[in-house]
Amino acid sequence: MSTVDDAIRRAYNELGERRFAGICGAYLKGDAWFEEHIPACSRQEEVELRNICPIYVCAQQRNVEHCGACPEFPCQLLLLFTALLIWLWQSIGRGWALRTLAVAALAVLLLLTFRTSLRASFQNGDIPVEMAVYTQSSPDIPIIYREIEQISMWKTGGKDLNIWIDGASGFAWPWAWYLRDYKNVGYPNLDSPGAPPMADVVLVHANNVEKMRPLLGAYTEGKRYRHRWWFPEVYRELNPQKLWGSLGDGSQWADWVRYFVNRELPASLGPSPLGSEDGYVFFRKDLPVRP
């Protein structure tokens, strides 16, 4: 008899009814597969089933006997789901159990889809924590626009303020839309500046701001703003090996649940996980109104 068979037999003899209990919370006495193989979670270190059970690995990493004893979410959710599955399986039969679970899963997914649609459309429309948004002009743009509008009304009584916008890296958009009614807007490329700008307001790409500073003595210090920002692209480093390895990491499961339910990005990405391309806005010091 093989070493694995010996370990299974010892687990069967020593654990009694407990041999049918999994770390995940499932009690599987009467299940043909389980009674034949008897995984006996507490002895997996001997029968080598840890190689195919990420739940066991997670419990060992957190030094808990079973998922129900772990404070980390979503282990309790997994336990409840497993208990529901076993109850359905034993109470109403395999076919109805699978159909009931499928309908329940579809109902949950439908509700999540509806909720996600509302949040993406009305709450996070310009905040790229939604992958559907991905790259978006930041909320700083309309704030600066309102400041420009106020200054233009004070100085010109309309929309005749002289404005320069750095043409580097596509910075013209979305300013070309916001300032479509303004008559004196220029889009010079400021990566090789020459003479001081002849404008009331200058918006400069962050990559060019140090080149422009010597020419901006007549302007305010300059305020940094996010021109466009995007969803963190950490998924580009993902591969099948990393994905499989993460299945046994309870903290990864908790991160996934927090993201898909509440759009909370993992703390491991830092305090400012969103990528951004930034600019600086400068106003002439002699303007009658400045933010």
In which band, very low, low, confident or very high, does the pLDDT at 280 lie, cut at 50, 70 and 90? very high
The tens digit of pLDDT for each residue in 209-223 reads 998 888 988 898 889
Residue 93's pLDDT is what?
A: 64
Q: What is the pLDDT of residues 178-233, one digit of tens each?
A: 999 999 999 988 887 777 788 999 999 999 999 888 898 889 888 999 999 888 88
Residue 263, burial from CB neighbour count under 10 angstroms (0-12, 13-18, 19+): middle
Q: Is residue 190 within 8 Å of 168, Cβ to Cβ?
A: yes
pLDDT in tens, 226-266: 999 888 887 777 778 777 777 777 777 778 778 877 888 88
Residue 197 CB contacts under 8 Å (≥ 6 apart), including other chains:
164, 212, 215, 216
Evaluate the omega torsion of the peptide bond into residue 74 and state whether it is cis, within 30 degrees of 0.
Answer: yes
The CA distance from 257 to 77, in Å, is 11
Paired strand residues for 271 = none
Buried b or exposed e, range 216-251, using 16+ CB within 10 angstroms = beebeebeebbbbbebbeeeeeeeeeeeeeeebebe
Residue 241: its pLDDT value, please? 78
Q: Hey, where are the domains in the chain?
A: 3-70, 136-231+275-283
CA distance 288 to 285: 8
